[in-house]
Amino acid sequence: MNRILELDSIERESVDASTKGFPHAAPPIPLGEIGAQGWRLLDGTLPFPQAVIKDSALAHNHAWMRDFTQATGVSLAPHGKTTMAPQIFAQQLAAGAWGITVATVHQLAVCVRFGVRRVIMANQLLGEAAVAEVVRLLASHPDLEFYFLVDSLAQLRAIEVDAARHAPSRRLTALLELGVAGGRTGCRSRGEAMQLASAIAASDTVDLRGIECYEGLQLSGDSARDAAFVTGLMAAVHDVALACDREGRFAGPSIILSAGGSAAFDIVARELPTRLSMPVQAILRSGCYVTHDSGFYARMLESVKARSGAQWQAREGLRPALEVWSQVQSRPEASLAILTMGKRDASFDLDMPRPQWQFRKGRDARPRPAPDDWNVTAMNDQHAYLRIAGDADLRVGDLVGCGISHPCTTFDKWRMLFTVDDDYGVTGAIRTYF
């Protein structure tokens, strides 16, 4: 892997047992030396719970998405908010990503600190502190390309006022956000969008560089309905982009069109590109693909594959790379086991964690698949409720490995996650910046 970002400060950073997951009695060591310690998830030396990333699955997903975007001709700016891990950003860039997407100026600053030089903030730039920081970063990093969203005249005027206080060294570059009635941010009508485009084009501070939208919040899982919705939304993007192009609203030298989460990126990749008077750069922003999951995105990927033709149907899809392991601390009733993980350790916002592995030291050489009828039905802050058959062979002390649903909300619960090989030997550690 090319050292495409400046990760030395992460690797040199001392980690100690005050970081959740680090072995209690181990002396502090630089994060970059963790992979050389010979630690193993299943041999009893590590505390539980542990969130781990499987190297092989991560590498598979990097290659899969590289192949997918290459086959479709779109660029990828993976959403960094998923992992907020510069080490993973470096892998994504090394696998061909055009840049990194973020949600906040804090996340932008983390990207810039570690050397990312193309960033889309798929969110409104707003606020005195945020605008000042963007102006500062653009001045101190002449090679930084940074695009943010604008969806209202009020926001545009606020940026102009706030930027003027800091004498920007160059013009700010915005994407106009198209929204959906009943949705989140974004202009709700063509008229509103065109009025805003005209105002941006007339701004002495901000350039209009493209059109953006996000289809992910309206997806239903019904493939035909989702395809119709996303196709319609991409047509609306084209319509506004074409009108802006005709009216000379884009500053150029190219026009960015961007959309795409990890649930319907196939339709986005197919429908987003178009021809305009300047070169068009179609940029997908999928984030969750990188570790994938065992819940929401696993279900959505089935639709992606079904829609993507024989070549992609025959091929293995994305692999779930993120697992949370915990221990059975009690089996107070025959059909109930309590696990040592909770809301602080694993996603619970879209689905509960999905039990996938069981392991008993002394009995098992490697994890066994968990029975299909095991279900986590609830979590407290520090506990999970695992429902099992009354005669299930599961004991106090056994380990249970769960897949998760929605990687974003597991990553943000860990300051450091171990990476593991296929035998759950620890190969290194990933540092997050939430």
> Which of residues 54, 209, 249, 383 is near its own copies by CB under 8 A?
383
- Contacts within 8 Å (CB) and 24+ apart, 238-244: 238/274, 239/190, 240/176, 240/178, 240/190, 240/193, 240/194, 240/197, 240/211, 241/210, 241/211, 241/274, 241/276, 242/274, 242/276, 243/190, 243/194, 243/197, 244/176, 244/194, 244/197, 244/208, 244/211
The footprint of its own copies on residues 131-150 (CB under 8 A) is: 132-133, 136
> Considering beta carbons, is residue 71 or 396 the nearer one to its own copies?
396
Q: Which amino acid is at 255?
A: I
> Which of residues 59, 158, 201, 242 is near its own copies by CB under 8 A?
158
> Which of residues 146, 413, 424, 428 is near its own copies by CB under 8 A?
413
Min CB(53)–its own copies separation in Å: 19
> Considering beta carbons, is residue 23 or 273 the nearer one to its own copies?
23
Give CA–CA dist 379/217, Å, rounded: 25
Would you count residue 409 as binding its own copies (CB under 8 A)? yes
Q: Which amino acid is at 224?
A: A
Region of 12-20, 87-95, 219-227, 237-245 interacting with its own copies (CB under 8 A): 12-20
> Considering beta carbons, is residue 154 or 365 the nearer one to its own copies?
154
Q: Which parts of 247-384 fold into alpha helices (H)?
A: 265-271, 296-307, 309-314
Min CB(307)–its own copies separation in Å: 25
* Half-sphere CA count of 365, side-chain side, radius 13 A: 0
> Which of residues 59, 103, 139, 276 is near its own copies by CB under 8 A?
103
Q: How many residues sit close enough to its own copies to count as binding (CB under 8 A)?
A: 71
* Half-sphere CA count of 51, side-chain side, radius 13 A: 30
> Considering beta carbons, is residue 313 or 335 the nearer one to its own copies?
335
The footprint of its own copies on residues 19-48 (CB under 8 A) is: 20, 23-25, 44-48
Min CB(247)–its own copies separation in Å: 23
The footprint of its own copies on residues 165-194 (CB under 8 A) is: 179, 181-188
* Unique residue bearing structure tokens 């009216």: 247
Q: How far is CA 49 from CA 233, 341, 416, in A?
A: 42, 6, 12
- Contacts within 8 Å (CB) and 24+ apart, 23-30: 23/47
> Considering beta carbons, is residue 133 or 271 the nearer one to its own copies?
133
What are 232's two structure tokens? 């319609």
Q: What is the per-residue binding string for its own copies in 48-67, x denoting contact by CB under 8 A? A: x-------------------
> Which of residues 1, 63, 129, 164 is near its own copies by CB under 8 A?
129
Q: What is the per-residue binding string for its own copies in 343-362, x denoting contact by CB under 8 A? A: xx---xx-------------
Query: Which distant-in-sequence residues (6+ apart) come within 8 Å of 410 by Cβ?
Result: 51, 322, 324, 345, 346, 347, 404
The footprint of its own copies on residues 247-306 (CB under 8 A) is: none
